């Protein structure tokens, strides 16, 4: 399983005898994770604000790899920030936001 392999590789990096090299490798890992987390958070925020997002969120919830990726970065599943617009129904202009 990939998560076990990742844990094994991180453990090997933590066991590098050269303190300077070990520090550099671990800092690189932290920086890559931070970069991914920031990009994922921005994507999730944009998705949560998009109209008709329910289908995308449902698909993400069914996909184990998405859940694992979000968990890796301590990110929750996004919740839509506005109610969905009914399809084919009358929508008062006053309820629309841009």
Question: First and final CA of the chain: distance in angstroms?
Answer: 44
Q: Is residue 90 part of a domain?
A: no
* pLDDT of 92 over the 80 cut: no
Across the chain, mean pLDDT equals 80
Q: How far apart are CA 10 and CA 13, in angstroms?
A: 5
The most distant pair of C-alpha atoms in the chain lies apart, rounded to whole Å, by 68
Q: Is residue 45 part of a domain?
A: yes
Q: Is residue 24 part of a domain?
A: yes
Q: How many domains does the chain have?
A: 1
* pLDDT of 18 over the 90 cut: yes
Mean pLDDT along residues 82-86: 60
Mean pLDDT along residues 56-83: 76
Q: Is residue 35 part of a domain?
A: yes
Q: Which domain holds residue 65?
A: 2-80
* pLDDT of 34 over the 80 cut: yes
pLDDT at 20: 97
- Whole-structure pTM value: 0.54
Q: Which residue has the tokens 């890992």?
A: 29
Q: Is residue 96 part of a domain?
A: no
């Amino acid at each position: 399983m990939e998560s076990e392999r990742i844990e094994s590789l991180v453990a090997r990096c933590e066991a590098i005898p050269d303190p300077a090299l070990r520090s550099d490798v671990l800092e690189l890992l932290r920086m890559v994770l931070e970069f991914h987390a920031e990009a994922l958070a921005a994507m999730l925020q944009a998705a949560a604000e998009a109209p008709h997002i329910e289908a995308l969120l449902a698909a993400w919830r069914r996909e184990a790899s998405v859940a694992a990726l979000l968990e890796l970065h301590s990110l929750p599943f996004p919740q839509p920030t506005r109610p969905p617009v009914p399809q084919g129904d009358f929508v008062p202009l006053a309820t629309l936001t841009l």
